[in-house]
Amino acid sequence: MTDQSIKIIDLKYARKFYIYIILVLFAFNTSAMASERIQLIPQKGSHQFPFFDQPTPVWHYNGQMPGPMIKGKVGSTLKVEVINRLDEPTSVHWHGMRIDNAMDGVPGVTQDPIQPGETFIYQLKLIEAGTFWYHPHLTAGEQMERGLKGVLIVEPLEKLPWSQDLVWLLDDWRLQKDGTIYPHFNTGHDLMHDGRWGNVVTVNGKWKPTYFASPGERIRLRLINGANARVFLPSLDGLDASLIAVDGKPVTTIFPFTQFYLAPGNRIDLDITIPIDAAGKTFTFSDSFTRKGFPLAAIKVNDEKPTQTPILNIPTAGNYIPATLFNKVDAAKVWDLNALRGGQYGIGWAINQKLWPDADAGNLKIGQPQKVVFKNSSSRLHPMHIHGAFFRVLEKNNRSAVEPFTRDTVLVGPRESITIGLIPEHNGIWLTHCHIQSHADAGMITTITVD
Ligand code: C2O
Ligand code: CU
């Protein structure tokens, strides 16, 4: 073989190699940009609770309780085709997600209601990883109570390092003796108090479920409060945990988990280490918000040999929406939260004396830091939620109380006032409301226009 022929062969390989590289790049690129198509079908069905002989009639997505867990990767677009098989109009809102305003799922604001038999396609561009959830935004006090809700997880491009990614959607139900759902929604009592609290608490639709882990294992646990009104204060039975994300966004600094008021709409992600000497043990997670605490779920540690606890590099959000940015912003908007006579139920819940739909909190400029005070003039709870944005808690009752994370929902206690800082980043008309569905149905909704 001459030198010449060797070169020719080399070149041939080189060309093949280039084509190979191009193909790989193409495949990677298309998978990262892939748009996945999913169907979500709100419909009537049933769910078996352990206490009753017959299943309970519920409304759910795709016949599943909770709805299917939707997963997608950052950079991709999800196409969710919602086919309404209920007898009434509905919509789907993607709680906490920053997406095109037209995809936000709010009838009367961002779209028309999806009528029975109609289909609406939501296109969700996934711009950040995190724990989100979805639920209707129409007659939500009833539709969510009957069971319509589910979790949406946006995954980072790299594989999550935890050996288990547990997702617990917390919820409560008001069930009657025969197992059916108490059919009066937004009763006078619910409206005057903290909304509709159920008598059965579930995790992923199950009553006190048990999950399994190995000694030494590191787990990511995502807790989502999907209840209509109930606040949870989860405790972990002595397990070591760090708070790594709040409302879908990584915390700015990771710190040990002590307590968190998980109000309707809130999510927290925890990094939990199972002790290496815990073989055979059961850890019971309970709720301690109400005087009489109760178990939510358990993690049972199997008898396997301990695995070595991995050391993980957990991402943080750095100094996202830094509190110092708001030092020079002096004029805060005050949103007064209080009860008011009027509205369709006679008892209304108002923001600045206005009841939805006659409410509008005005315009905010994109990119401009804003301070808002949620001033609770009532003696009830109001978990206030802003669509399409994260914000940072700066003050409680006019005292500095900067949180090391951002949120999309904050619990404002009786007579409490909470000052938040936000930087509007996305154009559109975004809803702001109390996430106690009965309060929202009774008027506690307004909009902010970001332009
Ligand atoms: Cu879960 Cu308008 O929100
Ligand atoms: Cu409220």
Separation of alpha carbons 112 and 31, rounded Å:
32
Separation of alpha carbons 33 and 262, rounded Å:
34
User: Does 29 score more than 80 pLDDT?
Assistant: no
Q: Which atom of ligand 1 is nearest to the CA of 440?
A: 2
Instruction: Look up residue 291 and give its DSSP letter.
Output: S
User: Does 119 score more than 80 pLDDT?
Assistant: yes
Q: Whose CA is nearest to atom 1 of ligand 1?
A: 95
> Residue 36's pLDDT is what?
82
User: Does 24 score more than 80 pLDDT?
Assistant: no
Is the separation of the CB atoms in 342 and 349 below 8 Å?
A: no
Q: Which long-range contacts (CB under 8 A, 24 or more apart) does 84-88 make?
A: 84/42, 84/114, 84/115, 84/116, 84/117, 84/118, 84/119, 84/120, 85/41, 85/42, 85/43, 85/44, 85/116, 85/117, 86/42, 86/43, 86/44, 86/59, 86/116, 86/143, 87/116, 88/116, 88/139
Q: Kindly give the distance from the C-alpha atom of residue 178 to the centroid of ligand 1, in angstroms, as a whole number.
A: 31
> Residue 4's pLDDT is what?
39
Here the tokens at position 23 are 């193909």
Query: Which ligand lies nearest to the CA atom of residue 144 in the structure?
Result: 1
Global confidence as pTM: 0.91
Q: Kindly give the distance from the C-alpha atom of residue 250 to the centroid of ligand 2, in angstroms, as a whole number.
A: 26
Is the separation of the CB atoms in 135 and 106 below 8 Å?
A: no
> Residue 198's pLDDT is what?
96
Is the separation of the CB atoms in 226 and 263 below 8 Å?
A: no
Core vs surface per residue 54-76: b (16+ CB within 10 A) or e: eebebbbbbeebbbbebbbbbbb
Q: Kindly give the distance from the C-alpha atom of residue 228 to the centroid of ligand 1, in angstroms, as a whole number.
A: 11
Under the banding of pLDDT at 50, 70 and 90, the label for residue 11 is very low
> Residue 246's pLDDT is what?
98
Q: How many residues in total does the chain contain?
A: 451
C-beta of 149 in contact with ligand 1 (< 6 A): no
C-beta of 95 in contact with ligand 1 (< 6 A): yes
> How confident is the model over 61-80, as a mean pLDDT?
97
> Residue 297's pLDDT is what?
98
Least confident stretch, 21-25, 104-108, 271-275:
21-25
C-beta of 265 in contact with ligand 1 (< 6 A): yes
Instruction: Look up residue 323 and give its DSSP letter.
Output: G
Angle at 434 between CA 114 and CA 208, to 5 degrees: 85
158-175, pLDDT tens digit by residue? 888 899 999 999 999 999
Q: Kindly give the distance from the C-alpha atom of residue 413 to the centroid of ligand 1, in angstroms, as a whole number.
A: 19
284-323, pLDDT tens digit by residue? 999 999 988 999 999 999 998 888 888 888 989 988 999 9
C-beta of 218 in contact with ligand 1 (< 6 A): no
Instruction: Look up residue 324 and give its DSSP letter.
Output: G
Separation of alpha carbons 258 and 141, rounded Å:
31
User: Does 117 score more than 80 pLDDT?
Assistant: yes
C-beta of 433 in contact with ligand 1 (< 6 A): yes
> How confident is the model over 272-283, as a mean pLDDT?
96
Query: Which ligand lies nearest to the CA atom of residue 349 in the structure?
Result: 2
Query: Which ligand lies nearest to the CA atom of residue 412 in the structure?
Result: 2
> How confident is the model over 251-263, as a mean pLDDT?
95
Q: Whose CA is nearest to atom 3 of ligand 1?
A: 95
Q: Kindly give the distance from the C-alpha atom of residue 83 to the centroid of ligand 2, in angstroms, as a whole number.
A: 31
36-69, pLDDT tens digit by residue? 899 999 999 999 999 999 999 999 999 999 999 9
Query: Which residues, other chains included, contact 355 with Cβ-Cβ below 8 Å and sequence gap of 6+?
Result: 340, 342, 343, 348, 349, 442, 443, 444
C-beta of 93 in contact with ligand 1 (< 6 A): yes
- How confident is the prediction for the chain on average, in pLDDT? 92
C-beta of 431 in contact with ligand 1 (< 6 A): yes
Place of tokens 């996305």: 426
Residue 320, amino acid: Y
User: Does 221 score more than 80 pLDDT?
Assistant: yes
Q: Kindly give the distance from the C-alpha atom of residue 107 to the centroid of ligand 1, in angstroms, as a whole number.
A: 12
Q: Kindly give the distance from the C-alpha atom of residue 450 to the centroid of ligand 1, in angstroms, as a whole number.
A: 18
Place of tokens 């979790």: 151
User: Does 349 score more than 50 pLDDT?
Assistant: yes
